[in-house]
Amino acid sequence: MFLRKRLRVTGKLAFRLTLWYAVIFTVSCFGALMVFYLATASVIHYHTDLELTKDAKEFSSIYAAKGVGDLRAAMLIELESEGADNMFLRLLDGRGKEVTLPIGSAWNGAASGQAAIHRLNEGEDRFFETMAIPDRPYPFRVLTANIAPDIIMQIGQSLEDDERLIQACREVLSAILGLVALLSAVGGYLFARRALAGVGEVTKTANEISKGAFERRVEIKGRGEEIDTLAETFNRMVEKIEILIREMKEMTDNIAHDLKSPITRIRGAAEATLTGGNLPRDFALMSGSIVEECDRLLVMINTMLDISEAEAGVAKLAIEDLDVAEVVREACDLFQPVAESNQVKVIQRLTEDAMILGDKMKIQRAVSNLLDNALKYTPQGGTVTVSVEGKDDQVVLSVIDTGPGVSDRDLPHVFDRFFRGDRSRSLPGTGLGLNLTLAIARAHGGDVKVTSVPGQGSTFTMTLPRSPLLH
């Protein structure tokens, strides 16, 4: 159940649009924040290099003016101000040999920087490099520069403050990116919902029209040219469909009334002939046959009208609380003489939880059609099993017979109007019963299905929602 709900959510257009909005906006912001982060880190490193260069120039001036002694004193003062763990200094000659002992405990374990000295000997004024020093959590930024002929100074500055600042910047930018992702998802959802609001209203209107509210139209609200065009096109389509249905209904009603009038007159004349007396036997039989045929035609016409109304969604349902099990019980009692005369056993398996909201007369007619159909095709000694079961928000009625079944070729057409299979052509009927049953079930928001095994029997299953409003 959870997987199906998840698939329905992920398959919606609003979800996909929201996902695209969120991904595109988040990736764009990530790129912008990454550029800002790299620029910030570069500025921080540039500032460190600038400070080291400034220190080297100051030390060069002191050495030129006062010599090595004052230079070493200045180096000690600088070390005390920066901290022995955060800085080291040393003086080298042109070959890389130490002129004085290194100043600062951080120098312990550091490389000698011979590559930098080699670069200076090739003509460069200064050289920067980043060194990882054993037992130190943060690397050092080292400047190697000439401060006098044959005097090289190396200044190492811990990057702890820089790294902490960059780490703080990284954490802040990560939090901003997470917030941006969340806001882009919310904003994307709102934009997608607004963009698809017109489509949702068209869908809602279409559902209402499918239930018979043909007067409903989609309101034009200026949500955008595409949505408004869709709404206008949909409204024009509904208007044409409404006109077509109205014309078809009028034509059907006219045909029905045109047929009913002469048939009624024929039947009246036949009854008058029958009741007149002193008629030869043949004329009496003929009159009786005319009456039967007229009744058959009237039943067929009325059934066709009922089917047309139900399929068009204009049938008026007298909704009331209805116990399907009680309807089935009454139908079985009504058809019991027919079952006994055909030597067919009717088995009832009914549940007490079978209440629905429905039209009692129409449900009775649908149940009667299913039961009559099963008894008609079940041979002597066979059984017809009728079961009613309540399942969550619907009631399921099943009619199982042990008749000859329906061939695979005929099975898809059993609910078609006027369809009669090869086995049923010799039996009385109009071919409208199952079609009417299907129309009644769908008018209640339900359905009718059939399964059959040739030579073993058929199963007709009608599902009815407990409330038609749920469908």
Domains of the chain as residue ranges with CATH: 15-164 (3.30.450.20), 225-312 (1.10.287), 319-470 (3.30.565.10)
How many C-beta atoms lie closer than 10 Å to residue 469's C-beta? 10
pLDDT score, position 246:
73
| Interatomic CA distance for residues 303 and 290, integer angstroms | 20
How many C-beta atoms surround the C-beta of residue 302 within 10 A? 12
The candidate with the shortest Cα–Cα distance to 143, out of 78, 70, 69, 81, is: 78
Q: How far is 320 from 318, CA to CA, in rounded Å?
A: 6
Tell me the C-alpha distance between 175 and 191, whole Å.
24
3 state SS for the chain:
CHHHHHHHHHCCHHHHHHHHHHHHHHHHHHHHHHHHHHHHHHHHHHHHHHHHHHHHHHHHHHHHHHCHHHHHHHHHHHHHHHCCCCEEEEEEECCCCECCCCECHHHCCCCCCHHHHHHHHCCCCEEEEEECCCCCCCCEEEEEEEEECCEEEEEEEECHHHHHHHHHHHHHHHHHHHHHHHHHHHHHHHHHHHHCHHHHHHHHHHHHHHCCCCCCCCCCCCCCHHHHHHHHHHHHHHHHHHHHHHHHHHHHHHHHHHHHHHHHHHHHHHHHHHHHCCCCHHHHHHHHHHHHHHHHHHHHHHHHHHHHHHHHCCCCCCEEEEEHHHHHHHHHHHHHHHHHHCCCEEEEECCCCCEEEEEHHHHHHHHHHHHHHHHHHCCCCCEEEEEEEEECCEEEEEEEECCCCCCCCCHHHCCCCCCCCHHHCCCCCCCCHHHHHHHHHHHCCCEEEEEEECCCEEEEEEEEECCHHHC
User: Is the CB of residue 462 less than 8 Å from the CB of residue 370?
Assistant: yes
Q: Which two tokens stand for residue 179?
A: 């917030």
Among residues 456, 430, 466, 454, the alpha carbon closest in space to that of 355 is found at: 466
Which residues of the chain are modeled with pLDDT < 50?
1-9, 11, 425-426, 470-471
Quick check: 450 and 435 in contact, CB under 8 A?
A: no
User: How far is it, in rounded angstroms, from Cα 303 to Cα 307?
Assistant: 6
What's the pLDDT at 113?
66
pLDDT tens across 13-47, in order? 667 777 777 788 788 888 888 888 888 888 888 89
Give pLDDT tens digits for 148-183: 887 888 888 888 888 888 888 888 888 888 888 888
Q: Are 396 and 461 spatial neighbours (Cβ–Cβ below 8 Å)?
A: yes
For residue 328, the model assigns a pLDDT of 92
User: Do residues 130 and 110 make contact, with C-beta atoms less than 8 angstroms apart?
Assistant: no
